[in-house]
Amino acid sequence: MSFPKPFYRWRPHPWHGLDVGPNPPRVVQAYIEITPFDLMKYEIDKITGYLRVDRPQRTSSQPPTLYGFIPRTYCGRRVGALCPGVELGDGDPLDICVVSERPIARAEVIVTARVVGGLQTIDGGEADDKIIAVLKNDNIWGNVADISELPSILVERLRHYFSTYKLVPGNPSQFSIEKVYGCDQAFAVITAAIEDYNEEFG
């Protein structure tokens, strides 16, 4: 019996085996690692492609949106060049937060998302941008084109989460949010991350 096409006989690696999206940088795929209901921090295992428990969330803070990464992206020198004061990205796939009206309570799902903006962040001296997007065809958010159209409280919650989720009492924070940016810069960051990926992995 032959396999129907397209068909993956084996599970593709979420980072390297999935497409970046149907219309990058405007519409991308997001592989979800963490949901707003998770009290554990999960992260893709770069070797196996499975989710690994990174650490428990230290405080009661939970991500206000779906949180994952864009396949076939890499935060390298081009991503770093877009962030003043740093030279390199963090060497990971590009992070993405996806806003959805309906609760999505499970991770390891793929969603199609419309990019609307992002957070320019620095972690340990490296660029660690967080792209912000809305679920494509979402009944409430699907027509949002720019982060300026989102409720300010939602952006505030994202800033608060990323400002605090790594904090350890008594230790200085190495993480900073430099600014919130709109869709045009988000498109530039995604394009840079795709080019960094192609350079790093071919």
Q: What is the pLDDT along the chain (202 residues), one digit of tens a residue?
A: 465 676 777 889 999 999 999 999 999 999 999 999 998 889 999 999 999 998 887 777 789 999 999 999 999 999 999 999 999 999 999 999 999 999 999 999 999 999 999 999 999 999 999 999 999 999 999 999 999 999 999 999 999 999 887 776 777 788 899 999 999 999 999 999 999 999 999 8
| Beta carbons within 10 angstroms of residue 23's beta carbon | 12
Q: Which residues contact 116 (CB under 8 A, 6 or more apart)?
A: 132, 133, 134, 144, 145, 146, 147, 149, 150, 182, 183, 186
CATH level 3 topology of 27-201:
Inorganic Pyrophosphatase (3.90.80)
Q: What is the pTM of this model?
A: 0.94
CA Rg value for the chain: 16
Q: How far is residue 186 CA from its own chain's centroid? A: 11
From the list 25, 129, 148, 147, the residue with the least C-alpha distance to 84 is 129
Domain ranges of the chain: 27-201
Largest CA distance in the chain: 62
